[in-house]
Amino acid sequence: MASIFSCVVRSTSTAGISAWRTNLSSVNRMIHKSPVTKANRVPCGCRRNLSTESPKLPQMPPEPGEGKSPVTWKSVGITLGLGGVFLAGMVYWKSIKDAAIEKEKVKTIGKASLGGEWELVDSTGKVRTDKDFHGQWILLYFGFTHCPDVCPEELEKIVEAVDLIDERKDIPNLQPIFITVDPERDTPKAVAEYIAEFSPKLIGMTGSVAQIEKVTRAFRVFFSAGPKDDDNDYIVDHSIITYLVGPDGYFVNYYGQNKKAHEIANDVRVQMAKFKM
């Protein structure tokens, strides 16, 4: 009886296990063969979204003017225009300031080094001072009437330069003045006869020894009388320089013996154009 029961149990157990294995194999085949669809997928509330893309946020409408650059061609043009006006104003005022400084510098040099007040006698015997010629442009030359060659050559050159200036109607006339460095012999009459040989425009000046010394010292003119010969004649060594004096009475420029008439005239025109009272 016991053997029969054990056979039955063994048989039943073996049969059950075999049937269970058969059913498991069938289930596996169904799982692998059936596609996963919405119909057979088991819903799960804990399923994670495995996508790597970030969620898209709703876009806001742009603000008025947003996306436009604040710098435009119009604003650039206005900025450059204002900058140009400002720069031009600075240059203009700087030029005025520099001109004023330069004028004061020239005046200071004229007062300290060249020129100044003087009083002389002209070829008619009239007393003249530097103030009589204020408002005029002057070419001033120092010499003497017994000069054999240098003085006549320089005076002819000065007269030619004056004529070149006077031909121009758009600029002031130029007054030539001859001042002797030999007051002992150059009387007003002698000076009058001498300057008549060159031009009626030329004004001749003489004076006492003290007056001549003062004016030559003011313009730093060197002169020295040489020894007298048997006829009581002598030569006076002196500076060969022509001075340009402006309408305000101050020294402006000077010209040496090597300057030609047209060069003097050209520079005088330049100085006249630059001059401001």
Q: How far apart are CA 58 and CA 136, in angstroms?
A: 89
| Residue 7 in marked binding region | no
Q: What is d(CA 252, CA 98) in angstroms, rounded to the nearest whole number?
A: 17
- Please state the separation of Cα 62 from the chain's center in Å: 50
| Cα–Cα distance, 134 to 115 (Å, whole number) | 13
The sign of the dihedral angle between the CA atoms of 13, 18, 19, 24 is positive
Strand partners, 143: 180
134 annotated to bind ligand = no
Give the integer Cα–Cα distance in Å for 277 and 270.
15
Amino acid at 190: A
Q: What is the DSSP code (8-state) at residue 237?
A: E
The whole-angstrom separation of Cα 204 and Cα 190 is 10
Binding-site residues for Cu cation, in ranges, read: 147, 151, 238
Binding-site residues, in ranges, read: 147, 151, 238
